Structure 1
């Protein structure tokens, strides 16, 4: 009999039903045949609702079930194994989408009474592993339920989530919903949501613009996959060894970084090294070590620090600006894998689903700048002075204006099947002059470090770069006079 009211007397009643499902496949649990008739990913959640908790599928605005006087949202979400051998670890397979953002109503809300928080403050997570290698022949219905847990927010996580919500709220309320990006925030993101990432809806326009509404991509509140990984590790007691910065609950990651770095603003690299008791070095890596020591994480990389990992801060980039206001080099990011080259040749490939859009849409970078008192020809690394640092993500408008054309050009080239004329003086890949900001350049270990293109050609592995003029400008825009981390 279906529980039409979706009401339970206690959490124990709910968890008893969910525990009974652990270790079983969704196919085994499915009492209605919904899984075989529904191609959408949500069918797994529907199976848990109908066949395990025995209440009817719904699309209500309020949270799914009532336990006593408290409402709980039910979320069925996949995990996967990453790495090999002893390095194998459990990670979230995807972000957790929570609720569509209503741009019209959001400006009227405050966090405590918001629709987002009403649906998200109490969540029951149902985990399953999805390690399928061939999704065309292997069905999700054969994945097994792993474990069900009630999500608990610790004090620091909640402070960050609240700050993220305020960031999204302010951007929408000020009339800039069309400039939202997942990487604007740390744990809670505004991800694109709809039939495709081009789905649009009305949003408030900026004051003084002369119009009441603008069009913005439909987005949903979601927890980033990096944050979901940390939640899963906590729930499954499989947390990897990582360092946690001692950030007070009333302080954001950005504020903490500024606090740690501010005593050294304006000091030379040699002076900072002396004060911190570390050896001097002229290598670029030495500046990274210096920065990590300043913020209290000596000898660690950003991907081993809890707060960076949760916020998807994936790289530390140190930049030296010379008297002309520019760095000597462009800034490199990630390589294109052979699998990604192959994907570019697909007629079904879409920009909104591309690895390149995802990379700049979701990732944040910790950029720390130094200033050399002399031109590059006279440069002495130890004399570079710390200007400051900031957490940066590429603005949505820049992703569309500068990164998208690069992807479209690559997609066009791979679809054509013709030669890219690599290394022949007529290279067709988008180079430094393509749009003045985003381009491709080789970044292999040597000339033998190559990638095979869909047309059979082999070229030196390629990396995405941002032009040094753009890098200098983003530093000027983000860096306050006192070097504040923002």
Structure 2
């Protein structure tokens, strides 16, 4: 099927909404697929069954004449009603031997197709792929994010030039990931400046980036929005508010790339945090808190003083997406830790565990994606000796941390131990500290004393136990000069 204009393509694509994959699977690809784990089959079904392109002509299905590339992506509805993308979207393979001689422009990373036509389907665990329902579609112009893509490309390239392709992590970058792409976890390839064989990787649009695009789709009301200038943008928003438009028909969003819409070049989350904290480096927690609140706390120092400071100066986690565009499409966590001689005094805790987050195998799990893509923005407060208590530690520096393949392999062991413990309803199988050699991720109670967190572990979906990053791993990250 040939589309001569964007309008023709969009008009035809309206008909895909509400369809399941088995309803459009005219080539019976679901029957031929060996496994319900073959994610690529869904894209093939849309290409061949809906757009009527032959399976052996994949490139034509990307609507090259219109400069639009087709992507099929799932989303998950969270327990609080919010939506998140199911997974990253893979682009092209990273050639470690060629990237060192490429520029972002010469790499043709995004190719001619800088616009994506995204077909969204609702992913429901333990459901046959054929029963997934397509609910939305949108066109997204990736060129508006090109400054961040370019910065991410340079970070990946720099690591390869430094002979550290084997240390690449998706947490290194903002939008453009370097995800593993081997058929098995044992697959290896070569890199130009090291004898260490790295895993094959591909460029990808990170899960958080896709989630940001999805949320923009759901937040915008008109069918087609085109931002040509800031003035037009303001007029359109006023029109929407004045007319109280509520009905959605197509859910199409496009953005014209203009200088007004582009954020500052090479801006990152850690840049944002550093700029907010810059005036306070070298000051104690109490000095900072009293300065930004105008109140006195010396008589009773809050236990959560670090969070009070970061919430005030940087913003609460659920508010940050409103403060800067970059926060809407990145996966990050802002953490505060006390240090002494550049070593962590405490472990780092994460949110409390939910039993339902362990239903999937590790490869498809929420937690694998979380640790794989998430960058930790760690705010470090220094205590010169053991006598320096909370409140009197000095703001020292901010560190970005991400996790390597080796870290994730250790995390997988911890995850699987919890999954098995849940299946067998046996708390003795839980990965408490020192459960296995070189354990980097463990669990510990995160409730009030007397909660009996372990014995009550199976009573509710939300437990009173959380993941903890070991001090061993934190110290390694703190002293890594390349992080």
User: Structure 1 length as normaliser, TM-score?
Assistant: 0.76
Written as runs of structure 1 = structure 2, the 5 A alignment for 1:278-289 is: 278-281=294-297, 282-289=301-308
User: Which residue number corresponds to residue 275 of structure 1?
Assistant: 291
Aligned pair in 2 of structure 1 residues 477, 195: CA closer, same or farther (>3 Å)?
closer
User: Which residue number corresponds to residue 76 of structure 1?
Assistant: 72
Q: How far does residue 404 in structure 1 lie from its aligned partner after superposition?
A: 5.1
**1:337-395 Cα distance to aligned partner (Å, 9 max, x none):** 4346677xxxxx6x65566544422222121011234524x5251x3211121222123
SS at match of 2:64: strand
Aligned pair in 2 of structure 1 residues 218, 59: CA closer, same or farther (>3 Å)?
farther
* RMSD (Å) for aligned C-alpha atoms: 3.7
Contact 1:175 1:203 in 2 (8 A): no
Contact 1:73 1:124 in 2 (8 A): yes
Q: How far does residue 75 in structure 1 lie from its aligned partner after superposition?
A: 0.5
**1:92-114 Cα distance to aligned partner (Å, 9 max, x none):** 12222222323333333221232
Q: How far does residue 121 in structure 1 lie from its aligned partner after superposition?
A: 1.7
Structure 2: where are the runs of 5+ without partners?
Answer: 222-261
**1:461-484 Cα distance to aligned partner (Å, 9 max, x none):** 5433233354345334469xxxxx
Distance 1:451 1:166 in 2: 49
Does residue 279 of structure 2 align to residue 263 of structure 1? Answer: yes
Distance 1:365 1:276 in 2: 24
Contact 1:14 1:53 in 2 (8 A): no
Q: How far does residue 46 in structure 1 lie from its aligned partner after superposition?
A: 1.8
Q: How far does residue 18 in structure 1 lie from its aligned partner after superposition?
A: 1.0
Structure 1 counterpart of 2:198, from 191, 216, 224: 216
Aligned pair in 2 of structure 1 residues 258, 432: CA closer, same or farther (>3 Å)?
farther
Distance 2:200 2:400 in 1: 25
Aligned pair in 2 of structure 1 residues 180, 61: CA closer, same or farther (>3 Å)?
farther
User: Which residue number corresponds to residue 339 of structure 2?
Assistant: 321
Aligned pair in 2 of structure 1 residues 370, 413: CA closer, same or farther (>3 Å)?
same
User: Which residue number corresponds to residue 389 of structure 2?
Assistant: 379
Does residue 398 of structure 2 align to residue 389 of structure 1? Answer: yes
Distance 1:32 1:303 in 2: 42
Distance 2:317 2:378 in 1: 18
SS at match of 2:142: coil
Contact 1:17 1:52 in 2 (8 A): no
Does residue 115 of structure 2 align to residue 122 of structure 1? Answer: yes
Does residue 350 of structure 2 align to residue 333 of structure 1? Answer: yes
Written as runs of structure 1 = structure 2, the 5 A alignment for 1:374-453 is: 374-376=385-387, 379=389, 381=391, 383-400=392-409, 402-403=410-411, 406=414, 429-431=432-434, 434-435=437-438, 437-445=440-448, 446-450=450-454
Distance 2:74 2:338 in 1: 42
Distance 1:257 1:74 in 2: 36
Distance 1:199 1:326 in 2: 33
Q: How far does residue 16 in structure 1 lie from its aligned partner after superposition?
A: 2.0
Distance 2:365 2:136 in 1: 31
SS at match of 1:203: coil
Contact 1:200 1:215 in 2 (8 A): no
SS at match of 1:267: coil
Does residue 170 of structure 2 align to residue 182 of structure 1? Answer: yes
Distance 1:183 1:327 in 2: 21
User: Which residue number corresponds to residue 227 of structure 1?
Assistant: 209
User: Which residue number corresponds to residue 134 of structure 1?
Assistant: 126
User: Structure 2 length as normaliser, TM-score?
Assistant: 0.76
SS at match of 2:372: helix
Question: Matched residue pairs, number?
Answer: 433
SS at match of 1:222: strand
SS at match of 1:8: coil
Distance 2:130 2:413 in 1: 38
**1:179-216 Cα distance to aligned partner (Å, 9 max, x none):** 111111112111222433x152423242xx5x5xx432
Contact 2:457 2:465 in 1 (8 A): no
Q: How far does residue 234 in structure 1 lie from its aligned partner after superposition?
A: 1.6
